[in-house]
Amino acid sequence: MKRDNNIGGVSIEMEQGGDRVGHVNKVIGYGKRVIVKKRKPYHHHHRRIHNKKTVPNKVPKALQELFVSCRETFKGPGGTVPSPQDVQKLCHILDSMKPEDVGLRSDLQFFKPENIVKENQRVTCTTIYSCENFSLCLFFLPAKGVIPLHNHPEMTVFSKLLLGQMHIKSYDWVDSEVSHNLLHQPSQFRLARLKANNVFTAPCDTSVLYPQSGGNIHEFTAITPCAVLDVLGPPYSKDDGRDCSFYRDHPYTAFPNGESGKVKEENDSYGWLEEIEMPENSQMDGIEYLGPPIIETAL
Ligand SMILES: [Fe+2]
């Protein structure tokens, strides 16, 4: 199958003073470390600060507030789930965030309905900030673009749809990995409970997933061109056992559950998830983040 390494004419402009265009530097896969070569050094930031003519807006307060809150929330040992108070605080900040806070506008070419979808146009992502404890990422999905079913091992993830309309489907495992392996081995299908299967339209509230709940395995399907802001705490890290796995879901009725199966609760929906290789359509293009920068103030 022919692989298209070209971004397909997609350029996502981010406003930071004057108009600037994100350039594709490297093709990456989801869950892989984003390596983006800096094409423009920091003097642009200086210009942004010093040349008031090109700075119609100040650094958005919300993005800086988000960064400071994340640093506070995810300072514990890797994989510590934030307290309900911290989750609430982060959600409150994210709920209020606008596309402009990360340099986007609904009238950018990418988000226009007449932006004809090219065949196999990929999802694009950019990292606003990343450290060992958390990362802030933006995902751009063209209409009909899909981020296929994938998990977030030992991670807490906040997702805020900034622009567009998308369908989100999510699952949680019914059994822990240990008991699954004891009970069902060598079955390649693992039982999962459907958590969400809804259409979200921006502006909407933030959704949160946890290591064991909230829809840890999810899939995004864009109905219109979308921009999603994700807070990942901690980020994916193969070295620390947090690699990204991909799944295909099968209807519950497709396979018998056997004697040892859990009693199905009346009002829940279930599915069988089969781990698969990274699908072709999960390849993403990475672009440099050119929106308003975060200021790493002293702690
Ligand atoms: Fe995800």
Ligand 1 center from residue 158 Cα (angstroms): 9
**DSSP 8-state code for residue 120:** T
Give the whole-angstrom CA distance, residue 26 versus residue 109: 22
CA of 135 to the centre of ligand 1 (A): 12
pLDDT for 54 equals: 42
In contact, 138 and 128? CB cutoff 8 Å: yes
The distance of Cα 78 from the centroid of its chain, to the nearest Å, equals 19
Distance from the alpha carbon of residue 49 to the mean position of ligand 1, in angstroms: 34
Gap between the Cα atoms of 137 and 230, Å rounded = 5
pLDDT of 85 reads 97
Structure tokens at 115: 């932006």
- How far, in Å, is the centroid of ligand 1 from the Cα of 219? 7
- The alpha-carbon radius of gyration of the chain (Å, integer) is 20
Is the domain covering 28-287 a CATH 2.60.120.10 domain? Answer: yes
Q: Under DSSP, is residue 258 helix (H, G, I), strand (E, B) or coil? A: coil
Domain layout of the chain by residue ranges: 28-287
Residue 228's beta-bridge partner residues?
A: 139, 161
User: In sequence order, which residues have a C-beta less than 8 Å from that of residue 11 and are 6 or more positions away?
Assistant: 21, 22, 23, 109, 110
Q: Does residue 98 contact residue 62 with C-beta atoms inside 8 Å? A: yes
Tell me how far the alpha carbon of residue 218 lies from the centroid of ligand 1, in angstroms: 6
Going from the first residue of the chain to its last (299 residues), give the mean pLDDT of each consecutive group of 10, the final group possibly shorter: 34 50 36 39 37 50 96 87 97 97 93 71 94 96 94 97 97 81 68 96 96 97 96 95 94 69 66 92 89 85
* Cα 149 to averaged position of ligand 1 atoms, centre (Å): 8
What does the pLDDT read at residue 80? 87
Q: What is the maximum alpha-carbon separation in the chain? A: 71
The alpha carbon of 7 and the centre of ligand 1 are apart by a number of angstroms equal to 21
Task: Tell me, in angstroms, the distance from the centre of ligand 1 to residue 176's CA.
Answer: 20
pTM, full prediction: 0.80
